[in-house]
Amino acid sequence: MPLLSVNSWFGTKSPFFTQNMRHCVPNPGVILIMSLLFTGSIIFLIISAIAFSFNSAQAYGIAHYSTPSSGASSQTEPVTVTLERFNVEKPLYVYYHLQDFHQNVRFYVSSFSRKQLQSDSFKAAGLNKDCNKGGTVVDEPCGLIYQSLFNDTLASTTTNEVTFYITSTDTSANPSQPIKVQLPINTTGIAWKEDIKSTRMYGKAFQALPNSEAVAVWMRTAPLSTFDKLYGRFTAEQLKALVTDSYTAETIYDASKAGGVTVEFSVTNNFPYGKKSIVLQQMTVFGGYYETRNLAILSIILGCVMFICGLTLLIIFLERGPRSAKYKTVLEQYPIVTNSSILLSELERMGDEKVRRTIRQVKAEMGLK
């Protein structure tokens, strides 16, 4: 009896001992590669054109504001953002932008207790070594991430409203009067749905926090020292309040292109770290303002590179390829029609004396060496 069965997993007829040959191996030629390069370049150039068109009509505005010194009392200051290419029929998103704030440090990223965040009570949950506070009982999430929570207030502390100013760019004798509208910032629905509606990430104690969604956004640490995080949004229904008889959606869009739409925030400055800014933008199918612009730039670069590579192959193919005037095969040098692809030199080397004598006679008659 053999040590290994013929049909066993490691038998002599199993894939372990036999070689499975592929019956069809693709062999891409120059024409196929050129076709793929030109097709890919056309696709990427179309994507870049679409992204540039979306980006040119995308609302965006940014304004920087000061950072208080450590230990200083909170202060309120107005921050005005000039909004360009503003479309009142799309939601408007409010972000806080931080520079020189590192959330990617190892001890900072690990400074939280997953067991505590998933529990129904912060007091009942045990703290791990990263959240050790000397054995004291806490009523809030432990760790550096929560303790360094972004706590600036970007709207009125009483009404949570910001002010929209719209000024007409009409140069006629009777231009429309500027309008002033106050709208509240909607701070719900800013976190990922699985962070709030599911208990896999955060338990009932975390979800009971008054600012649980803002904390959930902050707890998703950023990989770079410069980042944007969502603070709130204005829905399309809210922005319809800006439309009046004097200012239609088209009029507001034209005014925003000339700098006639500004948004004033009443910022309570509490967060003492990094360089801070307020960003307003509207989304496209490709993402935010910079995401759409970067996608357009990257697509046009890739499209141009693929087009240049395809054009280079085409020039080489036309100059040196089998269809060019400079290309001559051995069979063209020996104009003999045979039923096989064997060259005369191979026939002369492999054939018998009768074949060699016939080939030498043919060469002599044709004047070939």
SS3 3: coil
Whether the CA torsion 106, 112, 114, 115 is positive or negative: it is positive
Nearest to 153 by CA among 83, 23, 65: 65
Q: Across the chain, where does the E strand assignment appear? A: 60-65, 75-82, 92-99, 161-166, 179-184, 227-234, 261-269, 275-281
- Burial category of 317 from C-beta neighbours within 10 Å (exposed 0-12, middle 13-18, buried 19 and up): middle
How far is 107 from 169, CA to CA, in rounded Å?
Answer: 53
Residue 129 has pLDDT above 50, yes or no: yes
Q: Which residue has the higher pLDDT, 184 or 260?
A: 184
Q: Calculate what percentage of the chain has a pLDDT beyond 90.
A: 38
Which of left, alpha, beta for 247 (phi over 0: left; psi -120 to 50: alpha)?
beta
Tens of pLDDT, residues 225-281: 999 999 999 999 999 999 887 888 888 888 888 888 999 999 998 888 889 999 999
Predicted local distance difference test score (pLDDT) of residue 303: 97
